[in-house]
Amino acid sequence: MRWIDWQSPAAVLEKLIAYEAVHEIHGWDDLRRRLAPDRRCFAFFHPALPDDPLIFVEVALVEGLAGAVQPLLVQDGDDNAARNRAARADTAIFYSISNCQDGLRGIPFGNFLIKQVVEELKNELQHLARFSTLSSVPGLRRWLTKRLASTGDPQAALLARIATGAGRPDTAKSDESLKPLIMRFCAAYLTRRASTQEPADPVARFHLGNGACLEWINWLGNTAPRGIQESFGLMVNYLYDIETIESNHEAFVNDGTVMRSAEVDALLAAEHISAPNPELAENTTP
């Protein structure tokens, strides 16, 4: 594992721009911001490919639990201000992880990378108290619209304003009435037991299987067109607690238990979800 910063070889930096798969890097100024003093980037390398990462993760050092990705991507060229933010930070937010080599897909590099980065950051910045992701939910819209479209559920009419709107990505941003409905459906989607059916969402499956806890669901966490189209703009915090990673992993792998916070349970209990089939409503209690 290597820490990549602005002084790393240009060949490596060029690969970051080319391989970023979650939040596109828009040129060198954007990359420099992501490597600023209040940011970290770590990658796995192989001796046979010294300038070509196998996988890399981008981290933001912030105060509190970040709920939206756009503020993390704002360009800011003031390195002194960034150092001050890093000194005040109490949370490390993993906001992007990208596999770089198609031929190595399926090998769990990401599991090892995140856990090793947590240990590295704990040693470097002992004032950090929390390690969390800010993750997309790429399977949500597809999962939800497929199930609601085949029923007479009146809630489908509300969601259709977004679900059928490939050219109307701003609907979720302008219609707050959809927020409680979509938030509850997302909580149900992410907490289905793997013993019944694994979460269709690949990001959820990765982090829950890696021992993280489903901490919070953020409304309009990603207002980019891709975020709106894939997940109505929702983003998720998966919390990595060193003390519970192994027990969370075992619970998920052994019986499909999705460890989550009281806040997520409150979303599930806030109001009954009229479900078109039992899969939507099952296993929504602690």
List the catalytic residues.
Answer: 135, 207
Q: How far apart are CA 243 and CA 233, in angstroms?
A: 31
Question: Which amino acid makes up residue 248?
Answer: N
Q: How far apart are CA 280 and CA 191, in angstroms?
A: 10
Length of the chain: 286
**One-character DSSP codes across the chain:** -EE--TTS-HHHHHHHHHH--SS---HHHHHHHHTSTTEEEEEE-BTTBTTS-SEEEEEEEESS----SHHHH-----HHHHHHHHHH--EEEEEEEEE--GGGTTS-HHHHHHHHHHHHHHHH-TT--EEEE-B--TTHHHHHHHHHHTS--THHHHHHHHHT-TT-TTHHHH-GGGHHHHHHHHHHHHTS-TTT---S-HHHHHHHHTT-EEEEEETTS--SHHHHHHHTT-EEEEE--TTTHHHHHHHHHHH----B-HHHHHHHHSS----SSHHHHTT---
Q: How far apart are CA 147 and CA 140, in angstroms?
A: 11
Token couple for 73: 């991507």
